[in-house]
Structures are given as C-alpha cells and as structure tokens.
Amino acid sequence: MEYRQTDGKTRRVHKQYVDVVARILAGGQVVPVTVCWVDGRCFTIDEIISTTGFGLTVHGVRTATYKVRFGGHATELYLEDQARERADGSQAHVMRWWVWAFDRTLEGERRR
C-alpha cells in the first residue's frame, strides 16, 4: 500500500490510469494538454509547473513526472513507458498516464 499526505492528513492512495490529450512537439517533447478522469470529467491543464525526464528503468518501466495545475489545483501527472517483448523477440513500448488517487476509506481508519 502507498500513502501520501495532503492537508495535514496521511491518506492511502493507488495508481489510477487516466486519459490524457497531449501534444508531441517538433523537438520530440511530450506536452500534456487535457486530463480526463475515469468518471468522464476532463480538465484543461492551465500550467505545467515543472517536469522531470524519464528516470532509471525499474522492472522494465521508466516514469516521467509532470507537475501541473488545472482548476486552481496543482497535482503530479506521471507518464509511464513500459518496454514489453513481442512474440518475435522485438520490443514494444506501452506509454500510459497516471495519477495518485485517494482511496475511499472510512473516516478514522488507521494505518496498520
């Protein structure tokens, strides 16, 4: 289980894959434009505050981090690049976007 702190409270979170509309610039940079939650709500990104490039490969996955702001709220958006081996031995890259989503838990539930 993963835990994150917000508003002075520690809450349990999980990786939630989301749809993202992004631009690929002529120089190859990936720029997220819109984030769509699983419930269908979509938000245009107002500002990209910071980015980190893809880090080290861990278990075949590299992750880039985008700190973004939309609707007056700042959050981290992650782009995951996973190398998968095809049947013919060549590699395919699967790229997916995700965010940390708070688990719905009962008020007062404690971390064990």
On whether residue 36 sits in a domain, the answer given is yes
On whether residue 110 sits in a domain, the answer given is no
Amino acid making up residue 44: T
> Which residues, 6+ apart, have CB-to-CB distance to 102 below 8 Å?
4, 6, 11, 12, 13
Domains held by the chain: number: 1
On whether residue 61 sits in a domain, the answer given is yes
Report the C-alpha gap between 27 and 25 in whole angstroms.
5
- pLDDT, tens digit (0-9, with 9 covering 90-100), for 29-88: 999 999 999 999 999 999 999 999 998 998 889 999 999 999 889 999 999 999 888 889
State in Å, rounded, how far the first CA of the chain is from the last one. 10
On whether residue 7 sits in a domain, the answer given is no
Residue 62: domain span: 12-102
pTM confidence score: 0.80
Q: What is the DSSP letter of 28?
A: S
Task: Give 37-92 as a DSSP string.
Answer: -TTS-EEE--EEEEEE-----BTTEEEEEEEEEETTEEEEEEEEEEEEE-TTS-EE
Task: List the structure tokens of 51.
Answer: 């980015």
- pLDDT, tens digit (0-9, with 9 covering 90-100), for 11-46: 788 899 999 999 999 999 999 999 999 999 999 999
